[in-house]
Amino acid sequence: MKHLLAIEQLSREEIEAILDRAESFAEVGRRDIKKVPTLRGRTVVTLFYEASTRTSSSFELAAKRLSADLVSVKAAGSSVDKGESLKDTVATLSAYDPAAIVIRHPYAGAAQMVAGWTEAAVVNAGDGKHEHPSQALLDVYTLRRRLGSLEGKRIWIVGDVLHSRVARSNLIAFERMGAEVTVCGPPTLIPRGIEELGCEVSYSLERIGEAEVIYALRLQQERMSESFVPSLREYAATFQIDSRRLNPRQLVMHPGPVNRGVELSGDVIDSPQSLIAEQVAAGLVVRMAILYELLAGGERPAPVSEGEGAGQPAQIGQPA
Amino acid sequence: MSLTDTLDVRPGEDANLVLRRATVLDPVAGIDGVHDVVVRDGRIAELAGPGEAPTDGAEVVEAEGLHAFPAFFDPHVHLRTPGHEHKEDVETGTRAAAAGGYCGILAMANTVPPVSTAADVSALREQARASASVPVGFLATVTRDMKGEELTEMVELREAGALGFSDDGLPIVSSRVMRRALQYQRLCGGTIALHEEDPELSGDGVMHEGPVSAVLGLAGIPSVSESTMIARDAALAAYEGARIHVQHLSAAESVEIVRAAKAAGVQISAEASPHHLCLTDEEVRSLDPHRFKMNPPLRREPDRQALIDGLRDGTIECVATDHAPHQAEEKDVPFEQAAMGVTGLETAFAALHTELVLPGVIDLSLLVERMAGGAAPFGIERPSLAPGSEANVALCDLAAEWTVGEDGYESRSQNSWCAGRALTGRVLVTVAAGQVAFRLRSFSLGVAA
């Protein structure tokens, strides 16, 4: 694997390899010294053209935990503000000979284009409304830890599917791992033709009881002014996941940030059925695994550390 | 009558040629056979028996195995002049047209500033007389500066030589303004060519709305954005007895509406572009804006089939390239940010020959007819190979295989939807308005003893 551009391009085996690697990094995370020397001397650039808290911070921390040198570029305050094109920005950053460029961009296909302009491995940290593969991987990781396997599991993705790159990547990832996916939301926010991806479509929560996992999406405030939904009140009344609609066996996920009281009720967010905190924690180890797979995975076997690792899916080496 | 009575071209030498043993095909004139095509003083003097024409000092082209067609006419070209000469100008755009076998083109008025005054038209005509390789006609905008609000001075524009009117690039959103333009046409004449799109339905769409846009997370332009506006304007044209031409049909629903309007007697004509006839939105999965981003967008396979059916039954009377040059920096950006449009003049015939004629989807004669079908809707005489006609000839090698872009482009821009494609069939020589407008470099003309 040279780049991580889209879940669509990953096989189930490739997804599992990343998740297995992430498991071993979770083990490192329980040590006192959480850093490994794998990427020492190599440079990771994060290039964010959109606001991000979780994704940018976890990729940055992941790079540091792997001992890489990190360059973080945010579009605001950079030469992007001065009208530099994406192509020129990438050429500039490529002069530092980075091992990886992690990019978030407001438009679909940006990461793929960047991959054509640089020698570095490119990680798509979200491209427009297209894909957000690292989010899907951490969500599959979280679910796999909780459920063992996604095979045959029924997962409902609820909310603004139309404007969500998370919905697209997760739909594909969940299905590739054997789950049966239903997307649910008001017809104005379900893209025409989404069935092509093999999911079912529901315009109401009537059958939500059949879901084992409910994945709620963020509803942007501005969707009302664009008349996708008449009001937050009606949206919440029709599509909010609250304790009344949730049964005790169901798990609830959300990519964050949550609109408390809109797509999820407060009590559901704070309930033990919510995996939201686990998703955030998974973000770090999965992003370490992604960088590792791209930058060290193919080249050489992971160094075996002394006295540990038997039965581990992978060995990560000594703390740095 | 000749093309130069209505269009403008750089004056040059009248051609004297003999196309020896050419396979001549002009379905409209009823010509289909092997002849020596004799071009004398820029006119088709004679279709002589093969090998029988005297040379009389004319250039002789050994054309055995080659095809001579009436040269093509493109009613939809963006020459980008004035304002965006870095993309194309009259000289490069008409050179591209000549290389594609065209003997005439119509330039759209959505320049910067738009062609909205008689002075704009006069200046462009002067440029064409100075630098155009093939005859060019200029349309003027329907509304002042393409704002969709007030009509241009259509009478004066016509007197200055505007061949028709179009706000192409933008629809005329207001039905009131549309109706006024159609009424006013009774006074000024000139076909009104329409870019049909409801911006309320297109929104910020960048590709066809359907399964592919759903998967890619790209905002979609639904088919009904086009078809509903065509239905509106067909109804208005019927009501006002006006003459309209629908540009770049893309959706099956649109073909159906034009067909029904024609059956009801509406004065409506329609065009389709080579890219809509050859490609579908599946191409957009590549997220390559250089080749696959344009408006209207590439649609689904049933839409493409409907366009082909429309071409067959005459609902669509002509192929029009919507040649839309853009520079690399406007395309070397993510799909959503990229400029809309692809070039097509240099590849239209070869692409349609490769994708539709060779697989047996349509006959060669139908393609030849439709490639020149864009003249009549604008009241321009159709190119013909009948003896006595002004010489407008495309000499083609239907067996020639080439890769688009390998030898560069005549156009100033490179955003060809065919870039990198292997095509079969190539224009070798173009005679336009009696002058040799193009010769493929690798194809040399023999000179008579």
Q: Which token pair is B65?
A: 């195995």
Distance from C-alpha of A210 to C-alpha of B221, rounded to nearest angstrom: 35
Query: Can you give the pLDDT at residue A315?
Result: 47
Q: Please report, rounded to a whole number, the percentage of residues in chain B having pLDDT higher than 90.
A: 96
Q: Which token pair is B33?
A: 């056979």
Helix spans in A104-183 (H): 110-115, 133-147, 165-176
**B322 among known catalytic residues:** yes
Would you place residue A79 in the very low, low, confident or very high pLDDT band (cuts 50, 70, 90)? Answer: confident
Query: Can you give the pLDDT at residue A227?
Result: 86
Would you place residue A306 in the very low, low, confident or very high pLDDT band (cuts 50, 70, 90)? Answer: very low
Amino acid symbol at B254: S
Contact A165 B216 (CB under 8 A): no
For chain B, how are helix, strand and coil distributed in percent, rounded to 5?
A: 35, 25, 45
The closest of B25, B17, B27, B20 to B48, measured between CA atoms, is B20
Pairing type for strands B164-166 and B191-194 reads parallel
CA dist A191 → A184, B209, B257 (Å): 11, 9, 26
The closest of B217, B231, B111 to B169, measured between CA atoms, is B111
pLDDT of A238 strictly over 90 = yes
Query: Can you give the pLDDT at residue B445?
Result: 54
**From the list A192, A195, A196, which residue is nearest B220 (CB)?**
A192
Contact B337 A107 (CB under 8 A): yes
Contact B217, B271 (CB under 8 A): no
Contact A87, B290 (CB under 8 A): no
The predicted model gives B115-131 an average pLDDT of 98
Q: Please report, rounded to a whole number, the percentage of residues in chain A having pLDDT higher than 90.
A: 82
For an interface test with B, the pick among A122, A127, A225 (most B C-beta atoms closer than 10 Å) comes out as A127
Nearest CA to CA, how far is A42 from chain B (Å)?
28
CA dist B228 → B128, B175, B231, B235, B420 (Å): 37, 12, 5, 11, 36
Contact of B283 with chain A, judged by CB distance below 8 Å, is answered with no
pLDDT of B181 strictly over 90 = yes
Query: Can you give the pLDDT at residue A319?
Result: 46
Query: Can you give the pLDDT at residue B2?
Result: 76
Query: Can you give the pLDDT at residue A226?
Result: 82
pTM score of the predicted model = 0.93
Q: If phi over 0 gives left and psi between -120 and 50 gives alpha, with beta otherwise, what is residue B360?
A: left
Contact A193 B332 (CB under 8 A): no
Contact B215 A113 (CB under 8 A): no
Pairing type for strands B435-439 and B422-432 reads antiparallel
Query: Can you give the pLDDT at residue A311?
Result: 39
The DSSP call for residue B8 is: B
> B401 phi and psi, to 5 degrees?
-110, 135
pLDDT of A81 strictly over 90 = no
The predicted model gives B59-82 an average pLDDT of 97
Contact A127 B215 (CB under 8 A): no
Helix axes A276-292, A54-65, angle to 10 degrees: 50
Point out the catalytic residue in the list B26, B74, B303, B322.
B322
Distance from C-alpha of A62 to C-alpha of A60, rounded to nearest angstrom: 5
For an interface test with B, the pick among A8, A84, A103, A130 (most B C-beta atoms closer than 10 Å) comes out as A130
Distance from C-alpha of A35 to C-alpha of A216, rounded to nearest angstrom: 33
**From the list A108, A113, A192, which residue is nearest B217 (CB)?**
A108
The 10s digit of each residue's pLDDT in A276-300 is 999 999 999 999 999 999 999 765 4
Would you place residue A30 in the very low, low, confident or very high pLDDT band (cuts 50, 70, 90)? Answer: confident
Query: In the block, which residue shows the tokens 């919507």?
Result: B322
**ipTM surpassing 0.85:** yes
